[in-house]
């Protein structure tokens, strides 16, 4: 049975999208997923399911919308995908120095054709920040040496630039989710 990593977008952030992780675990278990484990209060879970990733996304989206009364972005990845994300991190040397300065944004699908140019425009618009990015398939790697608090690589502006919804996690969270998933092999 495949292991999946699910990342929710915009839950438990800024007072909106409140979803206790106990309720999220219960929802995933009600969907029939096995060995459900959540990690921190920002909508991360690891579980086993026999369904294909596309069906898992549809089921979770529908269940969360019913529970919360509003749509929630859901990104599902496999252990193999997280292996590749970790192996391809262009900012690995910075991550080793400070996990909080490196992030991976997981996209809901392929970025739009103008995404790289739109991301370049964000960088150019804020020259006092030293933010850098690498767009690689359905992952946007971010190096934020001035911290994530003031970055413009977030929220609806990031979604607009990418042409698709995204949710970011700091490198420590990426590694912890990978570790949880890997421990199931």
- Write out pLDDT tens, residues 119-133: 999 999 988 889 999
- Write out pLDDT tens, residues 135-168: 999 999 999 999 888 888 888 889 999 999 999 9
User: 104 pairs with which residues across the strands?
Assistant: 141, 169
Our CA dihedral for 88, 108, 110, 178, rounded to 10 degrees, sits at 20
Indicate the pTM of the whole model.
0.92
Question: Which of 64, 108, 89, 51 is CA-nearest to residue 170?
Answer: 89
| Residue ranges, the chain, pLDDT below 50 | 13-14
Alpha helix segments (H runs only) across 69-170: 79-87, 92-97, 115-125, 155-162
Domains and CATH numbers, the chain: 3-82 (3.30.70.1280), 83-176 (3.30.70)
Give residue 156's pLDDT. Answer: 84
Give residue 16's pLDDT. Answer: 56
């Amino acid at each position: 049975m495949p292991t999946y990593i699910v990342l929710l977008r915009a839950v438990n952030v800024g007072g909106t999208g409140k979803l206790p992780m106990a309720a999220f675990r219960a929802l995933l278990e009600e969907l029939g997923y096995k060995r459900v484990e959540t990690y921190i209060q920002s909508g991360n879970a690891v579980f086993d399911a026999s369904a294909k990733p596309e069906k898992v996304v549809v089921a979770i989206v529908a269940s969360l919308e019913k529970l919360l009364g509003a749509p929630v972005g859901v990104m599902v990845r496999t252990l193999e995908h997280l292996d590749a994300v970790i192996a391809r991190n262009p900012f690995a040397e910075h991550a080793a120095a400070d996990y909080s300065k490196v992030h991976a944004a997981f996209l809901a699908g392929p970025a739009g054709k103008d995404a790289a140019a739109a991301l370049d425009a964000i960088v150019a618009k804020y020259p006092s920040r030293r933010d850098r990015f690498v767009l690689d398939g359905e992952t946007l790697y971010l190096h934020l040496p001035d911290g994530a608090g003031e970055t413009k690589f977030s929220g609806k502006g990031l979604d607009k630039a990418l042409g698709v919804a995204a949710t970011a996690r700091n490198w420590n969270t990426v590694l912890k989710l990978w570790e949880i998933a890997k421990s199931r092999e």
